[in-house]
Structure 1
């Protein structure tokens, strides 16, 4: 059975969207991936979409979602390092990845964040496969 994992940050417009994209691609055999934010936002950041497309992950159809748009119960909740407290979400495991938001910066910041998120998603998958989560 696949593990339900959600990636959460404030606007669901950059880091959490990238994490969802990587999880759906790299963990499609073991993960049911979602992303959400704690506040409304009009769009996924164009640079986030662009750098993910550079890596072969299509995100042009992604849009910001709220916590109410994802399953109420999760196996794993990952916060992205937003500096805000998330409302309580029932889950078996929760951790914070402490990633800085590249929004407003150069494209290289988005690329660096994309690559860090890929590594963290790969590590998450390995931990699940080992039975650690």
Structure 2
């Protein structure tokens, strides 16, 4: 099974929206970032609704860093959060790529799009800090 991971662009050191998210500046792979969060009793950040996504996007408009969040590809068009909850299905024209990794990317026009990334790349990341 190919896995896909998302990176989220961020402008803040700490994010608050329904739950607290903490930015960890030390770049790690997606799996190392997940382990780091879990060793501290948390998990990679999840974004549960459009309101949360829009709030994060508004805070992230001028930052170019790519940040890991807890989303990964689990099978044909099925995406899952790091805590195993189903994110849902989405059409992805590159679904036939054997190793599919993506990131959430934002621009100054408040648009989001998906791009390919490898889970071995090193990026800062967001943990859900309760």
Task: Tell whether the structures are fold-level matches, with TM greater than 0.5.
Answer: no
- Structure having the higher helix fraction is 1
> When the two structures are superposed, what TM-score results if normalisation uses the length of structure 2?
0.26
Higher relative CO (CA 8 A, sep ≥ 6), structure 1 or 2?
A: 2
- Structure having the higher strand fraction is 2
> When the two structures are superposed, what TM-score results if normalisation uses the length of structure 1?
0.26
